[in-house]
């Protein structure tokens, strides 16, 4: 049984009574909120976001900082995000606009708006302090129509999710919070939908068109910092929809990049089939991150599976099994991750491929690469080298990729010219 008051959170379970005071004072009107899990558990608290209820997939993140970047990551589409860090919101939310040039891509965060379905925290900081902050976390959630709950024992939620796996949930707000929990048949599973199609751009657009190397990006739900990492290395970037037939224009580009994205990779088989043709017939560099890594793996002949609770956080250690560019075999790198699916580790690996990284905690596949004997230059990693937030142990993989594209371009005796006029000068990052 869980009881909530304005001043403290009380948890009564198995005859043990635990009282934990709020780190921040709850100002304003008290609006009840409850997080219901399909497993039958309910966690009561106070609403501080939009006054609406939502269904979604309940996941947890161990990230200590960068809650604004996590909440705007398209990979969290339709997910109720539980932060394990006790206090969230203490540095507010910045103004989310930036120039579009050789340094920035139009936004400060990872997308123009909040992508997760709801937010669950132990204590929300209603007083914030940061030189770039313009509003509180509560005001931001309310403005974007995202419900949020504070006063929840997020440690207990996290232990449940670790034991029973990622779980469907409902964030009930206001009058919905005082009603009964949903029936099992009422819970909605967002993974049944093609979430990539919801967050991908629908039209091609260009960034930094004057860059000295031309890179095509397949957008499965790209974090803005992936695009920043490319343009800041002076790449002329063209972003295409996730299922665009790249083979029609591939000779105009020096490299192909596949981004992160939400949901199950099985919804993107169309992209994997197109990519298989690209990999068979095209000899220029290809790099994929997160969902992009899974699409590369499927196109190479590997299978993807759903993990119990996935990896979400900024402290996932991965072991390099091979050397390539800035990566040294045998070294452990600390990485930022956000994924529910992974590639199957099999022996033998498909011909022309080898494991690149493996997770030090759960031994899941964290990267694959083409072998030297294959003559290809293809890499895929499950983690996010560009972080935002998180460690920058592997950020130079972007430099490796862009430099390899330049080297291929320099060695090419014939390179068709690309029309560098912006295709969509006003296009915004989805």
Which member of 116, 141, 268, 290 is catalytic? 290
Tokens of 127: 């007083």
The answer to whether residue 290 is catalytic is yes
Q: Quick one: 391 exposed, middle or buried, by C-beta within 10 A (0-12, 13-18, 19+)?
A: middle
SS3 376: coil
First to last CA, the chain: 41
Q: Quick one: 360 exposed, middle or buried, by C-beta within 10 A (0-12, 13-18, 19+)?
A: middle
3-state helix, strand, coil in the chain (%, to 5): 25, 30, 45
Which member of 36, 384, 404, 405 is catalytic? 384
User: What residues form DSSP beta bridges with 150?
Assistant: 46
- Report d(CA 193, CA 223) in Å as an integer: 20
Report DSSP letters for 144-178, one per residue: TT--EEES--HHHHHHHHHHH-SEEEEEEEGGGGG
The answer to whether residue 384 is catalytic is yes
The answer to whether residue 141 is catalytic is no
Residue in this structure with the two tokens 């690996």, named with its chain if needed: 349
- Report d(CA 75, CA 324) in Å as an integer: 27
Which member of 57, 110, 126, 386 is catalytic? 386
* Residues designated catalytic: 290, 384, 386
């Amino acid at each position: 049984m869980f009881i909530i008051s304005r001043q403290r959170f009380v948890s009564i379970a198995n005859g043990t009574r635990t009282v934990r005071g709020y780190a921040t004072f709850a100002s304003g009107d008290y609006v009840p909120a409850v997080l219901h899990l399909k497993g039958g558990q309910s966690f009561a608290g106070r609403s501080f976001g939009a006054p609406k209820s939502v269904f979604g997939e309940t996941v947890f993140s161990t990230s200590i900082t960068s809650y604004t970047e996590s909440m705007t990551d398209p990979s969290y589409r339709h997910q109720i995000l539980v932060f394990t860090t006790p206090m969230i919101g203490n540095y507010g939310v910045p103004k989310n606009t930036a120039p579009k040039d050789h340094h920035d891509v139009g936004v400060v965060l990872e997308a123009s708006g909040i992508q997760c379905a709801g937010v669950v925290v132990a204590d929300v900081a209603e007083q914030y302090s940061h030189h770039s902050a313009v509003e509180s976390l509560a005001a931001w959630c309310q403005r974007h129509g995202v419900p949020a709950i504070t006063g929840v024992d997020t440690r207990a939620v996290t232990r449940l999710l670790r034991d029973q796996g990622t779980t469907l949930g409902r964030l009930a707000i206001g009058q919905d919070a005082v009603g009964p929990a949903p029936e099992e048949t009422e819970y909605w599973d967002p993974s049944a939908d093609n979430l990539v199609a919801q967050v991908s751009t629908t039209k091609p657009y260009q960034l930094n068109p004057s860059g000295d190397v031309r890179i095509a990006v397949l957008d499965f739900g790209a974090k803005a910092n992936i695009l920043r990492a490319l343009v800041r290395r002076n790449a002329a970037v063209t972003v295409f929809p996730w299922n665009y037939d790249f083979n029609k224009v591939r000779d105009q580009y020096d490299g192909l990049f596949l981004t992160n994205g939400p949901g199950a990779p099985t919804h993107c088989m169309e992209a994997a089939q197109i990519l298989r043709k690209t990999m068979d017939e095209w000899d220029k560099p290809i790099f994929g991150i997160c969902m992009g890594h899974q699409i590369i793996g499927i196109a190479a002949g590997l299978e993807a599976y759903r993990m119990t609770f996935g990896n979400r956080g900024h402290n996932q250690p991965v072991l390099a099994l091979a050397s390539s560019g800035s990566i040294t075999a045998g070294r452990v790198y600390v990485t930022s991750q956000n994924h529910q699916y992974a590639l199957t580790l099999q022996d033998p690996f498909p011909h022309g491929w080898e494991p690149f990284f493996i997770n030090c905690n759960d031994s899941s596949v964290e990267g694959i690469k083409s072998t030297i004997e294959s003559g290809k230059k293809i890499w895929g990693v499950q983690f996010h080298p560009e972080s935002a937030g998180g460690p920058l142990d592997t950020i130079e993989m972007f430099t490796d990729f862009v430099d390899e594209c330049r080297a291929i371009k320099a060695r090419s005796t014939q390179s068709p010219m690309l029309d560098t006029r912006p295709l969509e000068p006003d296009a915004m990052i989805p």
